[in-house]
Amino acid sequence: MSPLFLPSPVAVGERFVTQLQNGELLTDASASVYRIAAGFLLATVMAVPIGILIGTSTRIEAALEPLIDFVRYMPVVAFVPLTILWAGIDDGQKFLIIWMGTFFQQVLLIADAVRQTPRSLIDLGETLGLGNGQILTRIVLRSSAPRIWDALRITLGWAWTWLVVAELVAASSGLGYRITLGQRYFQTDTIITYVLILGVLGLVTDQFMRAWGRRMFRYERTSR
Amino acid sequence: MSVDSREASVVRTAETAVPKVSIRDLSKSFGDVHALEGVSLDLFANEFVSVVGTSGCGKSTLLSIIAGLTEQDAGSVTVDGVPVTGPGRDRGVVFQGFTLLPWLTAQQNVQFALQDEPLSRAERASTAQQFLALVGLAGFENAFPRELSGGMQQRVAIARSLSYKPQILLMDEPFGALDALTRREMQTLLTRVWEQHKLTVLMITHDIEEAIITSDRVLVMSRRPGRIRADLTVPLARPRLAAMSAEPQFRALYSSILELVHEPAA
């Protein structure tokens, strides 16, 4: 088979070393990590309070959930041309795509996590004379925290996908941009190298989130 | 010894002719289901009363209304003459499921009930430890709920509801989820704890033996709609012992309650 279609592991290894030495890999990776971090944080900061409100108030749920569910089913990819029109091709557009791809999913997952608080724990709070605000902070949030953390971990994985989609279409830096360049010059070894790096980065962040979660929610540890 | 305690219980009843909790003509329906209809009963101070009945007779609804977690359709519940309008710290509740907060240790679960009391951190800790010791859990202060057996978890829940010294303790089939041996152990423990720390207790149960061995009075509820069919005083002396279940008085009471529970509604 022609190495153009599937480069040998040696060629991929060599490409990895070259990219590492000329500094491009680090620049690309840091540009992408920055975009993920900013876009994902923006989505999370907005989704956590809104998800909690939807999960705890039936009135807010009735008002917002159908809307969010509707937007959630719109394909984010189809918004790429529009976001370029709105936000250009700089970091802002990448944040926007990551935000659109994660925020709506996060809200629904967090609302669901909050709703799973056992009724008996809320009854307990009431019999101990706690007010609604105290029940929310002392019981509901603490009880749903592991599920909220899981929702964030899963959506962070999706954020990586949306980032690469955005960078493939229009960018002047980032891991996805380098893949597009590789395509343009038939550098399939570059493409494979970067796809593998994306896989590793995704795996590392996921493992990190898992380990952190296990530490925070040690009390839950069963057979997981 | 047994004569003394019987006299003591007579004195207690005479002193407290005014009921601690008074329930009048309570009714509650869920859609077409009449859970309770015209339920009236009195609980006197420091009295241990059980309500027995078949499952689905509305006895848990009764407890939930007294706790202030469910609103009645008609009738009234008063504590010391004041109508109940919602949950309150004068009424501690032990639920059927193990309602411990999984992210807190046994001691923190007890302290959870004390966090708004005007106590120092050290006082909160020592109160929690004292009540854990009372239910036989000294040494398990730092265990998380998932590390405790069902019986131990329910003991933590009992320690928690006693720790803030409510005047009334409401228990909804507290031992229903436990195996038979653990249940006997817990009944003995509860009786011992109550004999040391007198408070007014209302316990819902479907276990007639449990009701007799723990209670001063047993109320029998009829099937839907739930009504109080009989109010029986338990003639056994205190302290109660597990061996008492072989006594003829116990057996006679057991048979009459069993008959009342299964008698078809008039």
Cα–Cα distance between B108 and B154 in angstroms, integer? 15
Region A152-180: mean pLDDT is 90
What pLDDT score was predicted for residue B266?
53
Q: Which of B43, B26, B50 is nearest to B225 (CA)?
A: B26
Q: What percent of chain B has pLDDT over 70?
A: 93
State pLDDT tens for residues A71-88: 988 888 888 888 888 988
At B43, which amino acid appears? L
Q: How far apart are CA B97 and CA B172, in angstroms?
A: 9
pLDDT the model gives residue A223: 38
Q: Cα–Cα distance between B117 and A163 in angstroms, integer?
A: 51
A121 CB within 8 Å of a chain B CB: yes
Contact residues for B203 (Cβ-Cβ < 8 A; gap 6+): B48, B49, B50, B51, B170, B171, B174, B210, B211, B214, B215
Cα Rg of chain B (Å, integer): 18
User: Which chain A residue has its CA at the smallest distance from B95's CA?
Assistant: A120
How high is the pLDDT of residue A222?
Answer: 57
Q: Is B143 on the interface with A (CB under 8 A)?
A: no
Q: Which one is predicted more confidently, B202 or B236? A: B202
Average pLDDT, integer, range A82-108 = 91
> A143 in contact with B at a CB cutoff of 8 Å?
yes
What is the per-residue pLDDT across B126-139, written as a single tens digit (0 to 9) for each? 999 999 998 889 99
In sequence order, the β-bridge partners of residue B91 are B168
A127 vs B87, B101, B146: nearest CB: B87
Cα–Cα separations (whole angstroms), residue B39 to A40, A64, B218, B222, B227: 57, 43, 15, 11, 5
Q: Is the confidence at residue A156, as pLDDT, over 80? A: yes
Q: What is the pLDDT of residues B58-70, one digit of tens each?
A: 888 999 999 999 9
Q: What is the mean pLDDT of residues B103-123?
A: 93
Q: Tell me the two tokens of residue B231.
A: 């109010």
A8 has a pLDDT exceeding 90: no
Averaged pLDDT for residues B117-134: 92
Q: What percent of chain A has pLDDT over 70?
A: 98
| Beta bridge partners of residue B50, listed in sequence order | B203, B218
Residue A140: pLDDT over 90:
yes
* pLDDT for B5: 44
Q: pTM here? A: 0.84
Sign of the dihedral through C-alpha A31, A35, A41, A42: positive
The answer to whether residue B141 scores a pLDDT higher than 50 is: yes
Q: Looking at the predicted structure, is the pLDDT value of residue B4 above 80?
A: no
Residue A22, CA distances (Å) to A15, A153, B116, B149, B154 in order: 11, 33, 61, 60, 64
Record the tokens describing residue A39, joined without a space: 């876009």
CA distance A1 to A173: 32
Higher-scoring residue by pLDDT: B196, B101: B101
From the list B224, B211, B221, the residue with the least C-alpha distance to B254 is B211
pLDDT at B15 over 80: no
Q: Any chain B CB within 8 A of the CB of A131?
A: no
Pairwise CA distance, residues A2 & B118, whole Å: 79
Query: In this predicted structure, what is the pLDDT of residue B223?
Result: 80
Whether residue B11 is predicted with pLDDT greater than 50 in this model: the reply is no
CA A16/CA A7 separation, integer angstroms = 13
pLDDT above 90 coverage of chain A, percent: 62
The residue in chain A having the minimum alpha-carbon distance to the alpha carbon of residue B104 is A219
More confident residue, B8 or A127: A127
Q: Kindly report which listed range (B24-38, B65-79, B252-266) carries the lowest average pLDDT score.
A: B252-266
Whether A127 contacts chain B with CB within 8 A:
yes
Spatial neighbors of B121 by CB under 8 A, at least 6 apart, are: none
Please, which residues have CB within 8 angstroms of residue A90's CB and are 6 or more apart in sequence? none
Assign B168 a pLDDT band (cuts: 50, 70, 90).
very high
pLDDT of the residue at B241: 77
> Band of the pLDDT at B7, cuts 50, 70, 90?
very low
pLDDT at A30: 93
Contact B127, B115 (CB under 8 A): no
Q: What tokens does B216 get?
A: 């001063």
Mean of per-residue pLDDT scores for chain A: 90
Structure-token pair, residue B160:
């928690």
Give the span between the Cα atoms of B67 and A75, in whole angstroms: 50
Distance CA A154, CA A109 (A): 10
Q: Which residues contact B220 (CB under 8 A, 6 or more apart)?
A: B51, B52, B53, B228, B229, B230, B231, B232, B257, B260, B261
| Residue B27, pLDDT above cutoff 50 | yes
- HEC string of chain B equals CHHHHHHHHHHHHHHCCCCCEEEEEEEEEECCEEEEEEEEEEECCCCEEEEECCCCCCHHHHHHHHHCCCCCCEEEEEECCEECCCCCCCEEEECCCCCCCCCCCHHHHHHHCCCCCCCCHHHHHHHHHHHHHHCCCCCCCCCCHHHCCHHHHHHHHHHHHHHCCCCEEEEECCCCCCCHHHHHHHHHHHHHHHHHCCCEEEEEECCHHHHHHHCCEEEEECCCCECEEEEEECCCCCCCCHHHHHCHHHHHHHHHHHHHHHCCCC
Which one-letter DSSP state was computed for residue A129?
Answer: T
Site of tokens 């190298």: A193
Contact B69 A121 (CB under 8 A): no
Please tell me the predicted confidence (pLDDT) of residue B242.
Answer: 74
Lowest-pLDDT choice from A182-186, B242-246, B258-262: B242-246
Q: What is the mean pLDDT of chain B?
A: 87
A128-149 burial, b if ≥16 CB within 10 A, otherwise e? bbbeeeebbebbbbbbbbbbbb
Share of chain B above pLDDT 90, in %: 56
Which of A124, A135, A137, A139 should one mutate to test binding to chain B, selecting the residue with the greatest count of B CBs within 10 A? A124
**CA A16 centroid distance within chain:** 26
Q: Which of A119, A121, A128, A219 to mutate to test the interface with B (most CBs of B within 10 A)?
A: A128
Cα–Cα–Cα angle for B68, B174, B128, rounded to 5 degrees:
85
Residue among A121, A129, A221 minimizing CB distance to B99: A121
